[in-house]
Amino acid sequence: MASRSLPGRPAATALPADDSVPLHARVRHRGLLTVAVMGASIMQILDTTIANVAIPHMQSALGATSETVTWVLTSYILASAVAMPITGWLADRIGRRELFLGAIFGFILASMACGAAQSLEQMVAFRFLQGVCAAFIAPLSQSVMLDINPPERHARAMSIWGMGIMIGPILGPVLGGWLTEQASWRWVFYVNLPFGVLTLAMMWALLPATRRTDRRFDLFGFSMLALGLAALQLMLDRGAHADWFDSIEIWIECGVAVACLWMFVVHMFTARAPLFSRAMLADRNLVTAMGFMVVVGVVMFASMALLPPMLQTLFGWPVIDTGLVLAVRGIGILMSMWVAGQLLGKIDARWMVGAGLAIAAYSLWQMSHWSLAMGMEPVIISGLVQGLGMGLIFIPLNTMAFATIQPQFRTDGSSLLNLFRSLGASIGISIVTTLLGSNIQTSHEDLAAHVTNSSVTLLDPSTADRFGIAGDTALAMVNAEINRQAAMVAYIDDFWVMMWVTLAAVPLVLLLRPPKPGGPVATAADMGH
């Protein structure tokens, strides 16, 4: 496909898009460009969790209820899921450089608008716009990191990119809590301005252009996928509030999701020019990696959703202490990602993925043996172990996913991998929170059945009402302790479930193919990508 001219580009900012020269050979200052790409990636991934701790403050400032304020989070997730699949088509159509710069610029503007929002309606609208821009940043950053490095440096590039992707969600609550306490919840969004402007300037100066292609847009396929993903995300996010399938709303969303996603799958196999190339989806490594990304989303993000409320509510830890203890898993991620980067190419990457899954499952086994009498040490140790496992999974998996597909499919492939990781996070969080609520009730009934006059020596529950206020107070204290113990049992049950899910994914390693030396052979037309 012939190249098009790219107007408005300063001559000194980027080398021309030459189809005969690989992109990594046209990059000036690869190190600075890597810093810029990672700055955009970390800024985007932080915003998936940084706003969570500020929700109670937003609720009072925006005059929202506890149920409606959750749309601040839902709108962002919904927009990202809907927009992410068309990243590859937009990058081909308008140019990856233009899309990347536009996404960063839009993300900064949306962040400023979120910080200045005066009503819940404004906040939800601006968060939706922020989610659309964020959807493009994640896959573009990954594909750029692959393209600006030669094949022999892909493992190192993915280790650098993975550090930002995996550590960002861990640091988000810590940074969000600190900004909310020291300044205001609005600074959770304003903090993106200085980093975003610096990142945008560096990207403008250093990111080379890529050729544009006349790629037909599959409107029907995108419509079905967008409606299906939107309905699925709404169902997962609203399920716990609406009491799941006891609600007509959840049945409608489930029906729309199943019908639309089924039609999208059929359309993918029958359309003349589908949204995603069938040749790309025929790649076994990429499809298997999508399945693994669901597991990564479940284990990583579901754990991060469970632990902060557990440690703050049941153990009474302050927000900052909770954040610092949980951030230790980031150290484990950094360590194992560095090790994975060094070992890739020397040992079979499938062994690293399998070992990472086993280590992550062991950390969940450790967490299933927690008790209310423990201190910080078990949380720190299990977090470090889980970080070691997740790092060993993430880098080899991403490297193998892109080792066997052609370069022109990298942006589309990256968008699908990021989408499946996001879906895994949504599915995992919905499942564990639903199980948590159900198991708390069940455990409370089981524990309460054992509270008798023989088990509570200082008080006979059957005659406590004779003592008036003192008896009521004593019963309330007993009930509070039963609630606390029941909650701990429910959290332990969730950790057991996640452990078995992780172990069940281990056999998928056998479906992966080790990368060939030098990676896939690129055609002359692919070089400009």
**Which pLDDT tens digit goes with each residue over 37-58?**
888 888 888 877 777 777 777 7
3-class SS letters over 109-155: HHHHHHHHCCCHHHHHHHHHHHHHHHHHHHHHHHHHHHHCCCHHHHH
For residue 132 the two structure tokens come to 């659309």
230 lies in some domain: no
The residue behind tokens 């922020």 is 130
Cα–Cα distance measured from residue 130 to residue 117, given in angstroms and rounded to the nearest whole number: 13
73 lies in some domain: yes
Cα–Cα distance measured from residue 433 to residue 494, given in angstroms and rounded to the nearest whole number: 9
Whether the pLDDT of residue 461 is over 80: the answer is no
407 lies in some domain: yes
Are the CB atoms for 495 and 310 separated by under 8 Å?
A: no
Residue 191 shares a structural domain with residue 330? no
Give the residue with greater pLDDT, 297 vs 132: 132
Whether the pLDDT of residue 61 is over 80: the answer is no
Radius of gyration of the chain (CA): 25
For residue 472 the two structure tokens come to 């009521």
For residue 281 the two structure tokens come to 């989806």
Q: What is the mean pLDDT of residues 249-265?
A: 91
| pLDDT-derived band at 15, boundaries 50, 70, 90 | very low
Structural domains of the chain, count: 2
Of 181, 212, 243, which residue constitutes the final position of a domain?
A: 212
Q: Identify the domain containing residue 366 by its residue range.
A: 294-523
Whether the pLDDT of residue 311 is over 60: the answer is yes
- Specify the range with the lowest mean pLDDT, choosing from 210-224, 245-259, 327-341, 470-484: 470-484
Residue 197 contacts by C-beta under 8 Å, 6 or more apart in sequence?
108
| pLDDT-derived band at 456, boundaries 50, 70, 90 | low
Are the CB atoms for 399 and 515 separated by under 8 Å?
A: yes
Read off the CATH number of the domain in which 107 is found: 1.20.1250.20
Cα–Cα distance measured from residue 63 to residue 122, given in angstroms and rounded to the nearest whole number: 12
393 lies in some domain: yes
Strand partners, 347: 344
Residue 376 shares a structural domain with residue 468? yes
Whether the pLDDT of residue 465 is over 50: the answer is yes
241 lies in some domain: no
Residue 300 shares a structural domain with residue 204? no
Predicted confidence at residue 110, as pLDDT, reads 92
Q: What is the mean pLDDT of residues 21-33?
A: 68
Burial (0-12, 13-18, 19+ Cβ within 10 Å), 85? buried
242 lies in some domain: no
Amino acid, res. 295 = V
Question: pLDDT tens for residues 169-179?
Answer: 777 777 777 77
Of 161, 177, 212, which residue constitutes the final position of a domain?
A: 212
253 lies in some domain: no
Predicted confidence at residue 515, as pLDDT, reads 61
| pLDDT-derived band at 256, boundaries 50, 70, 90 | very high
- Specify the range with the lowest mean pLDDT, choosing from 387-391, 447-451, 452-456: 452-456
Could you tell me the pTM of the whole model? 0.74
Residue 141 shares a structural domain with residue 25? yes
Residue 54 shares a structural domain with residue 147? yes
| pLDDT-derived band at 17, boundaries 50, 70, 90 | very low
Cα–Cα distance measured from residue 125 to residue 127, given in angstroms and rounded to the nearest whole number: 5
Percent of the chain with pLDDT over 90: 8
Predicted confidence at residue 359, as pLDDT, reads 92
Q: What is the mean pLDDT of residues 331-350?
A: 80
Give the residue with greater pLDDT, 15 vs 80: 80
Residue 190 shares a structural domain with residue 318? no
Residue 141 CA, chain-centre distance (Å), reads: 15
- Mean pLDDT score of the chain, rounded to an integer? 78
Residue 392 shares a structural domain with residue 487? yes
503 lies in some domain: yes
Residue 472 shares a structural domain with residue 339? yes
Predicted confidence at residue 262, as pLDDT, reads 93
| pLDDT-derived band at 103, boundaries 50, 70, 90 | very high
Residue 207 shares a structural domain with residue 324? no
Of 212, 236, 269, which residue constitutes the final position of a domain?
A: 212
For residue 80 the two structure tokens come to 């990202």
Query: Distances from the Cα of 50 to the Cαs of 128, 179, 257, 361, in angstroms?
Result: 16, 10, 29, 27
Residue 207 shares a structural domain with residue 304? no
Residue 320 shares a structural domain with residue 433? yes
Whether the pLDDT of residue 106 is over 90: the answer is yes
Predicted confidence at residue 398, as pLDDT, reads 79
